[in-house]
Amino acid sequence: MAMTPDYDGGTITSTVTLHTATRAPEGHWTVSWLPGRALDYNAAITAMTLAEKDADADYADRQTQLALVSLAAELGLQYPEVAGLLEQNVPA
């Protein structure tokens, strides 16, 4: 995993994907590929993990497929929906 939590600055970045998570002044977290959705810290980590796994995925591998589906479910989403959101909301 290549995430870099920056607790002081309130950001989570990745060396694998351009997606980021940012802590809002109100205390919740926003993730670049889930615009408008307020997350707690654990959900932000899950969202970033999912973005990283998707960016570096071997889609033919059954364990990878199950991990993507499972992480998506933790966010209340289905993986095909996640794949679309990741593709639509790539940071500039």
pLDDT at residue number 31 = 96
- Give me the amino acid identity at 6: D
pTM > 0.85: yes
pLDDT at residue number 20 = 92
**How far is the C-alpha of 55 from the C-alpha of 26, rounded, in Å?**
30
Tens digit of each residue's pLDDT (9 = 90 or more) over 9-67: 799 988 888 999 999 999 999 999 999 999 999 999 999 999 998 888 787 888 989 99
pLDDT at residue number 56 = 81
Dihedral in degrees, nearest 10, Cα atoms 54, 56, 28, 76: 20
Tell me the residue length of the chain: 92
